A and B are shown apart, each in its own frame.
Chain A
Amino acid sequence: MINDIRVGALIAYCSVKRGNKKTLIFIVFVLSLIFMNLVFLPSMIGGLSGLFTGFMQDYPYGDIVIEPTGDNTYINNADNVLKKVRAVEGVRAGTKRLDVGASINHKQKVVGVTITGMLPTEEYEISRYPYIISEGDFLSDLSRDEIIIGAMIAGTGFGSEIYDNLGEVRPGAFVDVTYSNGVKRTYKVKGIMEGKFEVVDLNALVHYKEIEDVYGLEGKEATSVVVRVDRQGTEAQIQDKIREAGVNEQIFTWADKSESLIRQAMQSMGAIDTMSKIVSLIVGAALVLIIIYINVLNRKKEIGILKAVGITPRSIVLSYAFLSTFYVSLGISAGLILYLSLMFYFQANPVTFYETLEIRPAIDPVLLVQSVVTMLTLSVIAGILPAWSVSRESILKAIWGR
């Protein structure tokens, strides 16, 4: 076997060394494009998916979110839940929130929104709400009769032309809020938030105490408890620890939530991605097969001669395996350079989606390794098949065609 490998390697080496360099460059170029096609679209989809899931983490769900069980509207012992959660090792911070439906009225314009009651100081550790105030200020612990309005409903941000809005409400203006239970309140707009994401910019924020007062709650309820962990990637372990700590509400990681929310969109994208991958792989394998097949046909006589002088069929097949591995390795290397160049370009110049969302492709090492292995395996098989087929022919047929 070692002799087969040595001889196979020598045949392949001579073929590359003295073969047509222009053909080699063309083959490598085409293979590099195939590799690029294999990894580029998934990277863009990964970037898009990461953008959405990042939003989910930064605003509504944190790293872990605890929600009421069954048909319950509230977690009735939210403070007790928070106490248990905060005691769990690996938890960085936690807070409770109250989400309610309401309508906001300003100068005869009415917009339906979700209003989140939150504890402002705690939000600095939990979400990015305090950091996306484009005008005015964020809420404080003393904020009463004050509201933060999303830019899309305020009518000051992108998307205002698509959605109903209040017609350019600015900080200092007064708006009337009618809650789902019919209670009406007038709030002074303290700030406008602009997260460039509908889930954020179509909502409004008030102090937790406001919701508590409006709905006559006792200070222990929450529609969600949002948790942040010390180390990303430990969410699932901490989810288990929270359960073990005696929290009986529904506990979700951000991944659980994001997956269900963007599953449909990602499924469609995933289907396109899968089809694109399969087509790329088939084209890549077919290309290598054609290249090697033409090569083998051109050298059919030489293969016969090699057999006639005593070179084993295994050496001959191995030489083509080495040859296709060499072509594909070069193609993958060139494809990687091309891919990384494009990645750096799009990191610096992200694709703008929906005018506000900047999509930066995600480089996924697992995807890269998978693509390299898949392409190598398929191409080597595609390279070996024609050589194997010819090496099984009789010497007379290979050399003299009979």
Chain B
Amino acid sequence: MIIVKDLKRCYGTGDTAVRALKGVSFEINKGEFVAIMGASGSGKTTLLRILALLDDATDGEYTIRGLKVSSLPEAERSYYRLTQVGYIFQDYALISEMSAAENVYLLSMMEGKSKKESYRTALEALEKVGLKGKHDRVPDELSGGEKQRVAIARAIAKRPDILFADEPCANLDTTNSKQVLDVFKELNERYGQTIVMVTHEPWHTDYVDRVITFKDGSLLSDDKKMKVKE
């Protein structure tokens, strides 16, 4: 589903240049739940942002479902982000003046769905992440775990091909982290959702099918069905 070939990313030029990715290659299949791990600065977040079309690679190429998305013009990248990719931020990234439902159905409206249909889709997505009855609350009225679940609902409401999650539990306690990971697991198992998640926490790997580990911008290991030992 995702094919990455010799992907490189370099920030800055000359002596101050930072090589965040030094030519990584791998493939992710449809329906996989993958964890990307590594120390800070290892390049995992950079990789995720490039795959989610939030950033550009300096060199190399990657395809999603056979489409060379790296070469798409900005308008099509925007459309691709809207319809094909779900991205979950570490700090929830909700719009503070919008209710949970509005945060979710905004994207459906952007896709051209009617307000009624968008609202219904948003309620379904919120229900799926265990937030039934909290659709009218604004982010300030929700706990950290609930906010992250709204962010997940926003990402999954449009039924994207792939869900990217950048340290989704970084700001959550263990209970809330488990709730979020349970949602991911359910999405993966019940709906076959492909999920690529960046994480620091070894115990998160209990939930995934595969762990890709980065070190200093290079791929250190790619272990299918193998858990990282604490």
* Of B82, B87, B99, B155, the contact of A311 (CB 8 Å cutoff): B82
Q: Specify the chain B residue showing the minimal Cβ separation from A402.
A: B11
Separation of A307 and B75 alpha carbons in the complex (Å)? 11
Q: Specify the chain A residue showing the minimal Cβ separation from B77.
A: A310
Known: A14-B98, A14-B99, A311-B82. 8 other contacts (CB 8 A): A3-B112, A18-B97, A18-B138, A305-B95, A308-B87, A310-B80, A310-B82, A394-B55
Task: Find out whether the CB atom of A3 lies under 8 angstroms from the CB atom of B138.
Answer: no
Task: Find out whether the CB atom of B97 lies under 8 angstroms from the CB atom of A14.
Answer: yes
Specify which chain B residues have a CB less than 8 angstroms from the CB of A7 in the assembled complex.
Answer: 106, 109-110
Task: Find out whether the CB atom of A310 lies under 8 angstroms from the CB atom of B79.
Answer: yes
Given contacts A307-B78, A310-B82, contact A17 B110 (CB under 8 A): no
Specify which chain B residues have a CB less than 8 angstroms from the CB of A3 in the assembled complex.
Answer: 109-112
> B-side binding surface: helix, strand, loop or mixed?
helix
Separation of A2 and B80 alpha carbons in the complex (Å)? 19
Task: Find out whether the CB atom of B98 lies under 8 angstroms from the CB atom of A308.
Answer: no
Task: Find out whether the CB atom of A17 lies under 8 angstroms from the CB atom of B97.
Answer: yes
Interface flag for B13 (CB, 8 Å): no
Separation of A309 and B89 alpha carbons in the complex (Å)? 10
Provide 28 A-B residue pairs closer than 8 Å at the C-beta atoms, listed in order of the A residue: A2-B112, A3-B110, A10-B102, A11-B98, A11-B106, A14-B95, A15-B97, A18-B97, A301-B93, A302-B96, A305-B93, A308-B81, A308-B89, A308-B93, A309-B81, A309-B93, A309-B154, A310-B82, A310-B83, A310-B107, A311-B110, A312-B78, A312-B110, A315-B110, A394-B55, A395-B54, A395-B55, A396-B54
Task: Find out whether the CB atom of A10 lies under 8 angstroms from the CB atom of B54.
Answer: no
Task: Find out whether the CB atom of B49 lies under 8 angstroms from the CB atom of A396.
Answer: yes
Specify which chain A residues have a CB less than 8 angstroms from the CB of B83 in the assembled complex.
Answer: 310
Interface string of A337-369 (1 = CB under 8 A from B): 000000000000000000000000000000000
- Chain A count of residues within 8 A CB distance of the other chain: 27
Q: Specify the chain B residue showing the minimal Cβ separation from A303.
A: B95
Q: Specify the chain B residue showing the minimal Cβ separation from A394.
A: B55
Q: Which of A1-53 contact B (CB under 8 A)?
A: 2-3, 6-7, 10-11, 14-15, 17-19
Task: Find out whether the CB atom of B109 lies under 8 angstroms from the CB atom of A10.
Answer: yes
Specify which chain B residues have a CB less than 8 angstroms from the CB of A19 in the assembled complex.
Answer: 97
Taking Cβ atoms with an 8 Å cutoff, the residues of A that contact B are 2-3, 6-7, 10-11, 14-15, 17-19, 301-302, 305-313, 315, 394-396, 399
Separation of A302 and B112 alpha carbons in the complex (Å)? 22
Separation of A10 and B108 alpha carbons in the complex (Å)? 12
Task: Find out whether the CB atom of A309 lies under 8 angstroms from the CB atom of B109.
Answer: no
* Of B95, B96, B97, B115, the contact of A306 (CB 8 Å cutoff): B95
Classify chain B: how many residues form its interface, as a range.
20 to 34
Specify which chain A residues have a CB less than 8 angstroms from the CB of B78 in the assembled complex.
Answer: 307, 310-313
Task: Find out whether the CB atom of B93 lies under 8 angstroms from the CB atom of A311.
Answer: no
Q: Which of B81, B96, B110, B111 has the most CB of A within 10 A?
A: B110
Task: Find out whether the CB atom of A14 lies under 8 angstroms from the CB atom of B102.
Answer: yes
How many A-B pairs have beta carbons closer than 8 Å: the answer is: 74
Separation of A306 and B78 alpha carbons in the complex (Å)? 10
Q: Which of A19, A302, A308 has the most CB of B within 10 A?
A: A308
Q: Which of B124-144 contact A (CB under 8 A)?
A: 138
Specify which chain B residues have a CB less than 8 angstroms from the CB of A310 in the assembled complex.
Answer: 78-83, 107, 110
Task: Find out whether the CB atom of A6 lies under 8 angstroms from the CB atom of B81.
Answer: no
Q: Which of A7, A10, A308, A309 has the most CB of B within 10 A?
A: A309
Q: Which of B54, B79, B87, B89 has the most CB of A within 10 A?
A: B54
Specify which chain B residues have a CB less than 8 angstroms from the CB of A315 in the assembled complex.
Answer: 110
Task: Find out whether the CB atom of B89 lies under 8 angstroms from the CB atom of A305.
Answer: yes
Separation of A305 and B151 alpha carbons in the complex (Å)? 11
Specify which chain B residues have a CB less than 8 angstroms from the CB of A309 in the assembled complex.
Answer: 81-82, 87, 93, 107, 154-155
Specify which chain A residues have a CB less than 8 angstroms from the CB of B49 in the assembled complex.
Answer: 396
Q: Which of B26-70 contact A (CB under 8 A)?
A: 49, 52, 54-55
Q: Specify the chain A residue showing the minimal Cβ separation from B80.
A: A310
State how many angstroms separate the Cβ of A296 from the closest Cβ of chain B: 14
Give the 4 A-B residue pairs with the shortest CB-CB distance, closest first: A310-B82, A310-B81, A18-B97, A305-B93
Q: Which of B52, B80, B96 has the most CB of A within 10 A?
A: B96
Q: Specify the chain B residue showing the minimal Cβ separation from A308.
A: B54
Separation of A59 and B183 alpha carbons in the complex (Å)? 89
Specify which chain A residues have a CB less than 8 angstroms from the CB of B52 in the assembled complex.
Answer: 308
Q: Specify the chain A residue showing the minimal Cβ separation from B154.
A: A309
Separation of A309 and B107 alpha carbons in the complex (Å)? 8
Specify which chain B residues have a CB less than 8 angstroms from the CB of A2 in the assembled complex.
Answer: 112
Q: Which of B82, B97, B155 has the most CB of A within 10 A?
A: B97
State how many angstroms separate the Cβ of B90 from the closest Cβ of chain A: 11
Given contacts A307-B78, A309-B81, A310-B107, contact A302 B95 (CB under 8 A): yes
